[in-house]
Amino acid sequence: VHIAPDVKLPAYCTIIGPAWIGPGVEIRPGAFVRGNVIVGAGCVLGTACEFKNCRLMEGVQVPHFSYVGDSILGNKAHLGAGAICSNLRLDQKPVAVRTPEQVYETGLRKFGAILGDAAEVGCNAVLNPGSVLGPRALVAPGTVFTGHLPAATIARQRGNVSFLPRRD
């Protein structure tokens, strides 16, 4: 485990190597770094967040209650509270990465998401395995996203809200 001298450490967190944590990183209480993690300069590893087999480029912000597994987050990418980079298909088959041009068979049972520079993922959004967000792409809060989101575009779900009478 390498931790740069100026990393801000909380009273408690867990760091299991191999891990490399760069300068100016802030690690918040309850963060769980569980191996094969590289964190670039100026990142925030937030409260009650878990990081596994991932690369966070510089300035990445994952401030609270998120999971980042088997993923790459580009420079200044941001995950809102409770955002999840899911890394395992429900049927546990190998993950494929789909772009408009091609399908890439990874051969991997676990593969999370790839986020371009300054990509944004809203609170409680889920990126399904193999999702790719281009630079400055945005996934709206509460959205479940699968596939490829081009640069500077927004993905959102609009669902109907049903109102039923209470039966007290």
| Cα→Cα distances 154→27, 44, 136, 168, Å | 29, 24, 9, 41
Indicate the pLDDT class of residue 157, thresholds 50, 70 and 90. Answer: confident
Residue 12, pLDDT > 70, answer yes
Asked if 64 is an active-site residue, the reply is yes
DSSP 35: S
Catalytic residue among 2, 64, 78, 148: 64
The mean per-residue pLDDT over the stretch 84-89 comes to 98
Whole-number pLDDT of residue 38: 98
Average confidence score pLDDT of the chain: 95
DSSP 89: -
Q: What percent of the chain has pLDDT over 70?
A: 98
Residue 87, pLDDT > 80, answer yes
For 64-94, b where at least 16 C-beta lie within 10 A, e where not — what string?
bbbbbbbbbbbbbbbbbbbbbbbbbbeeeee
Give me the residue label for tokens 């068979």: 105
pLDDT digits (tens, 9 = 90+) for 19-47: 999 999 999 999 999 999 999 999 999 99
- 8 Å CB contact between 22 and 8: no
Three-class SS of residue 96? strand
